[in-house]
Amino acid sequence: MDRKGASPVMNNPVDLDGPVVAPVSGGAPRQLVVLLHGYGADGNDLIDLAPHWARQLPDAAFVSPHAPFPCEASPYGRQWFGFEGRDQAEIYAGVQEAAGILDRFLDVALAHFSVAADRMALVGFSQGTMMALHVAPRRETAIGGIVGYSGRLIGPEQLGREIRSRPPVLLIHGDGDPVVPFASMAAAAAALTALKVPVETERRPGLPHAIDPEGLARGGAFLTRVLSGQPAAAKA
């Protein structure tokens, strides 16, 4: 066990590993929550969310993979894709490269934990949200849902041509975010809604680039609902 109370890593043959928290029920996983960290962090960052949601999801395993590439701006962190000094086409190419790696990881994780796709959710923060919104709708079988904190949708035009499934999405964003503009939430929600993806949004007044207790609670309620097969709530 590491300092966060998680098992050390989930190793797999497709480039990613990261800390894992087993179901608190003590039984085999019936649900899977994949936590996707932001730029310059690693999987140890978001695995701390697992204890906040474990009581609501006692049969869920939580896995938090390290992004595949060293962070350009930090000697210790990781990144899903680079953006400094790059134009939009180059950024998108980086997203696609990471998306292929993440997509294969999700297949491995589903098989490893013997969980159905509709009982898996992706939870992202910042760049992790960007990856979740890119990968999940392009998967043929819809996952249970996406919770995205402080992120944005990259390449909505491309998604319109490539969408294959429509998992429910909850977007949560602080209106004081100095890193990813708060307006990114409305833009993502509009683009996803136009593609008939069910979207809920949560504005967090005054919150900077962070996750607060209210956002955690809203995310936990959403995960509990979508991973138990309950119907979607009305749009926020």
**Given this model, what pLDDT does residue 15 score?**
62
Highest mean pLDDT among 12-21, 75-84, 151-160: 151-160
DSSP 30: S
pTM: 0.91
Q: Is the pLDDT of residue 45 over 90?
A: yes
pLDDT tens track for 8-23: 455 554 468 999 999 9
Kindly state the average pLDDT of the residues 77-96: 90
**Given this model, what pLDDT does residue 7 score?**
53
Cα angle 191, 194, 197; round to 5: 85
Lowest mean pLDDT among 44-48, 85-89, 165-169: 85-89
- Tell which residue, 181, 151, 155, 157, has the closest CA to residue 169: 151
Give the ranges where the chain is alpha helix by DSSP (H): 43-46, 50-53, 88-113, 127-135, 156-162, 183-194, 213-227
- Residues 6 or more apart whose Cβ sits within 8 Å of residue 190: none
Helical axes 127-135 vs 88-113, angle rounded to 10° = 70
Domains: count for the chain:
1
CA atoms within 13 A on the CB side of 183: 0
Structure tokens at 123: 């939870």
Domain with 53 in it: 20-227
Kindly state the average pLDDT of the residues 203-220: 98
**Given this model, what pLDDT does residue 151 score?**
98
**Is the residue at 12 inside a domain?**
no
**Is the residue at 7 inside a domain?**
no
**Is the residue at 104 inside a domain?**
yes
**Is the residue at 103 inside a domain?**
yes
50 vs 33: CA distance, rounded Å = 9
**Given this model, what pLDDT does residue 99 score?**
96
Kindly state the average pLDDT of the residues 96-118: 96
Comparison of pLDDT for 229 and 124, the residue scoring more: 124
**Is the residue at 13 inside a domain?**
no
**Given this model, what pLDDT does residue 76 score?**
84
Most distant CA atoms of the chain, gap in Å: 48
- Residues 6 or more apart whose Cβ sits within 8 Å of residue 172: 147, 148, 149, 150, 185, 201, 202, 204, 211, 215, 218, 219
Structure tokens at 16: 């990613």
**Is the residue at 54 inside a domain?**
yes
Lowest mean pLDDT among 2-6, 74-78, 215-219: 2-6
**Is the residue at 10 inside a domain?**
no
Q: Is the pLDDT of residue 142 over 60?
A: yes
**Is the residue at 87 inside a domain?**
yes
At 3, the pLDDT band (50, 70, 90 cuts) reads: very low
Comparison of pLDDT for 1 and 105, the residue scoring more: 105
Q: How many residues does the chain have?
A: 236
Domain containing 145 — which CATH number?
3.40.50.1820
